[in-house]
Amino acid sequence: MRAPNFNFEISSNEIQKHVSTISTNSNSIEAGLFHCRTANDCIKDAKLQPTPKKLYNDLLIENELTILVADTGVGKSIFAVQIANYVSKTANVLYMDLELSDKQFQGRYSDDYQNDFIFNDNLYRSIFIRRCEIPNGISYEDYFIESLKKLIVEVDAKIVVIDNMTRLITGDTDQARNAKPLMDRLNDLKFDYNLTMLLLEHTKKVDPSRPIHLNDLQGSKMKANFSDAIFTIGRSAKDKNLRYIKQLKTRSAETIYDSENVMLYEITKENSFLKLNFIEYSNEYEHLKQLSENDSKERINDVLEMKSQGKSNIEIAKIFGVTEGSVRKWIKKADKIK
């Protein structure tokens, strides 16, 4: 539910008039935005609801909003389509492909445009209508959400995959004022239509010599705060076709796939289907790039050059995908070398 647009210039007494009268019905209390019960009553009510199912390992849980975050070209879409096809065995899935054309999609799921892979019939794929005109007086974001609602109803979708989030909003999602309304509206969809949602998002530039963490999610932390779960795909320094999957946030269960227990995959194509093929469980540190002495010196020289150009430690940290503290350590190391 989106926060109301209160006008804080009016008095506290005036605001109180807009808040519903506190009422007690059985053991519940309602006051304006809030519905209050005892903790035991909350659990009793929850027991009447079905237990969420694990739809794909521990990565995708029923009725949750999950974000898959990874660098460009690492295989987010490949894995998302793989998940979508798997879960479409038992439920209708709407895959919002806002990146690939139909021909590009066919190229991925065929053998050189021959012997096309046959997907489950419950998997629906949607693309943009090119040069579609948005009606006057309606914002892009409103038209996107309303169009999505219509598709959800028409295909009776239970699971929605959006590839990717950068196409949902015209403003800068680094700003909380843009990211929060977006996440609010997506959560509204989740609750209103009883959906499971998987959203694809980019990471910031990440230093390949350090583990991926939650702060690498591109944009405002509002995305992380309003999501139920987040997992990532990282590149392995051992082989260009190796990827590892790591959980960054969970709400419904224990985090199983952390830095010490990532899932290692290989990008392969089997029977015209491009996918991530599971190999084994591994440690993230085994797949990080090991910086040579020359690499370290080159990085320090780059930092010093940026400092001479007037860049702050925070700006440099964003460029390298590290914390501001790491930049300070590099500068101290350079001072010692001098």
Q: What is the pLDDT of residues 280-310, one digit of tens each?
A: 999 998 998 876 667 677 777 878 888 888 8
User: Which comes out higher in pLDDT, residue 52 or 315?
Assistant: 52
Our CA angle for 127, 231, 281, nearest 5°, is: 120
Whole-angstrom distance, CA of residue 108 vs CA of residue 194: 31
pLDDT, mean over the chain:
85
User: Which comes out higher in pLDDT, residue 24 or 65?
Assistant: 65
Stretch among 16-25, 174-183, 290-299 having the lowest mean pLDDT: 16-25
pLDDT band at 3 (very low <50, low <70, confident <90, very high): very low
Whole-angstrom distance, CA of residue 250 vs CA of residue 224: 11
pLDDT at 81: 98
Task: Report the pLDDT averaged over residues 93-120.
Answer: 96
Q: Which residues contact 23 (CB under 8 A, 6 or more apart)?
A: 29, 30
User: Which comes out higher in pLDDT, residue 273 or 179?
Assistant: 273
Q: Is there a contact between 237 and 286 (Cβ–Cβ < 8 Å)?
A: no
Query: Is the pLDDT at 328 greater than 80, yes or no?
Result: yes
Q: Which residues contact 246 (CB under 8 A, 6 or more apart)?
A: 211, 212, 231, 232, 234, 257, 258, 259, 262, 263, 284
CA-closest candidate to residue 159, choices 95, 105, 97: 95
Q: What is the pLDDT of residues 255-289, one digit of tens each?
A: 999 999 999 999 999 999 999 999 999 999 899 88
May I ask the CATH architecture of the domain 54-287?
3-Layer(aba) Sandwich (3.40)
Task: Tell me the domain boundaries of the chain.
Answer: 12-47, 54-287, 293-337
Q: What is the pTM of this model?
A: 0.80
Query: Is the pLDDT at 7 greater than 60, yes or no?
Result: no
Residue the block writes with tokens 């930049």: 327
pLDDT at 174: 58
pLDDT at 105: 96
User: Which comes out higher in pLDDT, residue 291 or 66?
Assistant: 66
pLDDT at 150: 96
